[in-house]
Amino acid sequence: MQKYLRKAATVAAGGALLSACATSGRLSKADKRFAEGKFEAAIALYQAEVTQGKNVAHANFALGEAYRLSNRIDRAVPYYRAALAGGVRQPELGYRYAQALRAAGQFSDAAAQFTAYAQSGSDRSLADRAAAEAQIATASLGVTSPLAGYDVVPLVALNSPSSDFSAARLPGTGELVFASGRAGRLHPGNGEGYLSLYARQLNDSTGTPASGAARLLEPLFNDARTLQASATYTPDGKTMVFARSNDGSKKGYLSTDLWISYFRAGAWTAPVLANLNDRTADDYAPAFAPDGTTLYFASARKGGQGGADLYKATLGPNGRFSPAENLGSVVNTAGNDNFPGVAPDGTLYFASDGHPGYGKLDIFRYQQNQVTNLGPGINSVGDDFAPFFTKPEVGVFSSNRSGGQGSDDLYSFRKKVRKQVTFYADGTVLGREAEAPAVPLAGAQVTLTNSAGQQQPVVADSVGRFTARLDSGQTYTVVAAQPGRFTARTTLSTVGRSPSPDQLSQLQTDVRLPVTLTLDRIVVNKAIAVNDIFYDYDKAVIRPDAAIRLDTLAQTLRDNPTINIELSSHTDQRGKAAYNLKLSQQRADAAVAYIVSKGIDRQRLTARGYGKTRPLVPNAQTEAESQRNRRTEFKVTRISQ
């Protein structure tokens, strides 16, 4: 996105097309307008040729190039496609078609076209770039952003039907300075107004435009023969740098350059060329960092990564900049990386069409040697660029997304305030001795394990309490242990426990989930009933309901690896004593075999059948009473050291 601050470069870029036309003797009126960089007029003439059936294939290719060179490459898709179908033999055509597809958000088709060009394209330098572009287009299919979203609002009171973009704050005045073509004569390249610099007062409290019209900056910053944009100021308001195009004359400057002015004795000095320009390439989109000395800017000079690259230079006390330094391959790509902006904390933001994104230019953040897309909302399928921060996480950017007032519009952005919910386990560990009531137990070791197996150990305090922070959307296993006591476990889940946003009155809300674990004293040779371990009459088969209880017992043995137990099985009082004794032993053996099948060492288990010698309900009369007697119990027989 050079906003026609690169006129000389764009004309040169169409040289291959014009050379082919001149060689064949077919330099039409449309070709001549194209050669002059008057793309808007050329487009109308080429479209007429297509309608009339005159030199259709060439006219379609020229239409695609005219749209590309006037920064509307997404509109070139049907013309490049028609040129390919018409047999146009331009070496770069397939590559340009792939670029147009990507700009239009057709990433899958773009990746396929880039891949095809990388394999068989006749311009080998472009073929090498196409291979990398194919990967980027593929990556764009699944682009996501971990960054928080932004509230985006068009600055309706500031925008116009023309192009409005590249905002900056004029220190000490409360004015927002921006580029606009609202009053300029139409540029023959894209049919939009010549760009000038304007300023509009902002309301201090809201940051929105105040009433009244935008004022045109002083004539020394606005030359009617050129385009100017992207003003940036040092924080003290005493130095200004902006971009100015060539004037189109043979005696004029041949590229877009950066100009510098100083505020001295109550007035701005006449702008002069900054000493960091490359006179053979375009330098544009300057942005001062908060330190007031570091200047970031874009340049298409030789030696970069691809199209336009981002550079930085340091402004010295003598008003001259240090040699420009390329920001390197993490930031810069084979595409265009430009329109930097620096947040109050010094973090660099910039626009790029070379990193995976949502369409044309997207805005990215560069931090800790990583580039991150700001995500949908701020970014769209169109050009989103020139971020400027008025406060931390608050500012203005430019976009030509659909639904605006002009080709480019200014939008405010503000990081969404997300109400946070933090979960905590508020736990209590109790100890129980025999039949006495449970009381708080100090010093128990508690371990919380989430669904991914990540463990969080804590220790209960002197009154048996513990607190642990929990992640949302997780189910935890909570285990408490202390020597000499049976380990206790339970589950605790935060799944579905988040309050709805309208229920949250604070930015930060703590949700505390109570959990209690009771640890019983281990007493050797004390029988402990395993509830609901029942058997069908005259059978030793483990029923499904009994298996559930035996699974719990197996877990108890895993949680308490130092204990050995006896499993005792009992029958009801029906039948002969010898038979019942044999049946109960079979039932105990079956229970032990089941537990061993769950991975418990057989040496830790003893099976003992007591027949009908130890009924819970003597003289049982009903089937329910008899079933209570058909039971399994366990007792600890030894505790290993």
Q: How does 89-99 read in b/e, with b if 16+ C-beta sit within 10 Å?
A: ebebbbbbbbb
Q: Give mean pLDDT, residues 546-572.
A: 90
Total tally of structural domains belonging to the chain: 4
Query: Are the beta carbons of 465 and 428 closer than 8 angstroms?
Result: yes
Burial class of residue 624, CB neighbours in 10 A (0-12, 13-18, 19+): exposed
pLDDT at 249: 62
Confidence of residue 113 (pLDDT cuts 50, 70, 90): very high
| Same domain assignment for residues 437 and 411 | no
Distance, CA of 334 to CA of 78 (rounded, Å): 24
167-225 pLDDT, tens per residue?
A: 999 998 889 999 999 987 887 777 788 899 999 988 765 667 777 789 999 999 998 88
Is there a single domain that holds both residue 587 and residue 447?
no
Q: How far apart are CA 121 and CA 130, in angstroms?
A: 9
Residues 497 and 392 in one domain: no
- Same domain? For 106 and 178 the reply is no
Mean of the pLDDT values across residues 398-423? 88
Looking up tokens 């490359």, which residue turns up? Answer: 278
Predicted confidence (pLDDT) at residue 22 exceeds the cutoff of 60: no
| Category of 548 on φ-ψ map: left (φ > 0), alpha (ψ -120 to 50) or beta | alpha
Could you list the residue range(s) of the whole structural domain that residue 51 is in?
Answer: 7-141
Give percent of the chain with pLDDT exceeding 70: 93
Average pLDDT over residues 125-131: 86
Confidence band of 376 (pLDDT split at 50, 70, 90): confident
Task: Let me know whether 299 and 432 are in one domain.
Answer: no
- Residue finishing a domain among 520, 542, 558: 520
Query: Is residue 83 scored above 90 in pLDDT?
Result: yes
Measured CA to CA, the distance from residue 296 to residue 364 in angstroms comes to: 15
Closest CA to 560 of 502, 588, 521, 612: 521
Here the CATH number for the domain that contains residue 330 is: 2.120.10.30
- CA-to-CA dists, residue 352 to 309, 339, 358, 372, angstroms: 9, 8, 11, 11
Q: 86: which DSSP letter?
A: T
Say which CATH number the domain at 625 has.
3.30.1330.60
Q: Are strands 455-459 and 394-399 parallel, antiparallel or unpaired?
A: unpaired
Least confident of 37-51, 435-449, 492-506, 581-595: 492-506
The phi, psi pair for 502, rounded to 5°, reads -75, -10
Cα separation of 352 and 549, whole Å?
62
- In the numeric block, which tokens belong to residue 299? 């340049």
Q: What is the pLDDT of residue 508?
A: 83
Does residue 199 share a domain with residue 331? Answer: yes
Q: What is the pLDDT of residue 11?
A: 38
Closest CA to 263 of 294, 227, 220: 220
Mean pLDDT of 86-115: 92
Considering only CA atoms, which of 69, 89, 68, 90 is closest in space to residue 77? 68
Whether 2 is covered by a domain: the verdict is no
Q: What is the largest CA-CA distance in the chain?
A: 122
pLDDT band, residue 395 (cuts 50/70/90): very high
The answer, yes or no, to whether residue 624 has pLDDT greater than 90, is: no
What mean pLDDT comes out for the span 245-253? 65
Res. 269: pLDDT tops 60: yes
At residue 4, the pLDDT reads 42
Lowest-pLDDT range of 13-22, 66-75, 278-287, 346-355 = 13-22
Across 66-80, 317-331, 527-541, least confident range: 527-541
pTM, entire model: 0.65
Closest CA to 365 of 534, 160, 518, 148: 148
404 and 342, same structural domain? yes
Domain annotation covers residue 492: yes
Q: How far apart are the first and last CA of the chain?
A: 76
pLDDT at position 254, please?
Answer: 64
Residues 273 and 367 in one domain: yes
CA 181, 186, 189, 191 torsion-angle sign = positive
Instruction: Kindly state the percentage of the chain with pLDDT values over 90.
Output: 58
Residues 519, 339: Cα–Cα separation, whole Å: 64
Do 98 and 222 reside in the same domain of the chain?
Answer: no
Q: What pLDDT score does 2 carry?
A: 39
List, in order, residues 6 or more apart from 272 with CB less than 8 Å away. Answer: 259, 260, 261
446 part of a folded domain: yes
Residues 533 and 516 in one domain: no
Q: Identify whether residues 233 and 349 lie together within a single domain.
A: yes
What are the phi and psi torsion angles at 508 (to 5°)?
A: -125, 125
Q: Is residue 370 part of a domain?
A: yes
State yes or no: pLDDT of 250 exceeds 60: no
pLDDT, the chain, mean:
88
Number of H helices, E strands in the chain: 12, 33
Q: Quick one: 286 and 253 in the same domain? A: yes
Residue 1 lies in a domain: no
Q: Does 339 score more than 70 pLDDT?
A: yes
pLDDT exceeds 60 at position 5: no
What is residue 8's predicted lDDT score, i.e. its pLDDT? 30
Query: Element (H or E) spanning 62, and its range?
Result: helix 56-69
The CATH number covering residue 108 comes to 1.25.40.10
DSSP label of 240: E
Q: pLDDT: is 106 or 21 the higher one?
A: 106
Query: Which among 91, 116, 141 is the end of a domain?
Result: 141
Q: Phi, psi (5° rounding) for residue 61?
A: -65, -40
Contacts of 98 (CB under 8 A, 6+ apart): 110, 113, 114, 117, 130, 133, 137
- Average pLDDT of the segment spanning 426-435: 92
Query: What's the pLDDT score for residue 171?
Result: 92
In a domain, 198, yes or no: yes
